[in-house]
Amino acid sequence: MPAPDASIPQRELLARPVRREAVGRALKAARIAASLNKQQAVAASGVSRHSLMRLEAGSGSMNLDRLWSLARAYGTTPSAILAAAEADPDAAETLKP
């Protein structure tokens, strides 16, 4: 079970939307590189259309199972998707101490 937001440091709470948006852009780029539209991605991954739309928009939180399912459907790896998100300058900034 996730920790309640009250127990999470403010810096981490502020970083969440930045990181989620970077992952969303990375997911969308991976889907496009795989030449899949959203409907095809849903069919190939088992992730719901609503979830996929939220994830790509950066408004959803992703669990590891979804990440692996999407990576497989896109012909890539979870680490490649995360590396693309980490390459985003704003997201990379959230990793600094």
Domain assignment present for residue 97? The answer is no
Domain assignment present for residue 73? The answer is yes
5: confidence class by pLDDT, cuts 50, 70, 90: confident
CA distance 54 to 50: 6
| 51 pLDDT above the threshold of 90 | yes
| 47 pLDDT above the threshold of 70 | yes
Do residues 70 and 30 make contact, with C-beta atoms less than 8 angstroms apart? Answer: yes
Domain assignment present for residue 1? The answer is no
User: What's the pLDDT score for residue 2?
Assistant: 60
Tell me how many domains the chain contains: 1
27: confidence class by pLDDT, cuts 50, 70, 90: very high
| 4 pLDDT above the threshold of 90 | no
Domain assignment present for residue 2? The answer is no
The pTM score is 0.90
Domain assignment present for residue 22? The answer is yes
Domain assignment present for residue 48? The answer is yes
Q: State which residues form the domain around 46.
A: 10-92
Do residues 41 and 52 make contact, with C-beta atoms less than 8 angstroms apart? Answer: yes
* Span 46-61, average pLDDT: 96
CATH of the domain at 36: 1.10.260.40
CA distance 4 to 90: 25
* Span 32-52, average pLDDT: 98
* Span 46-58, average pLDDT: 97
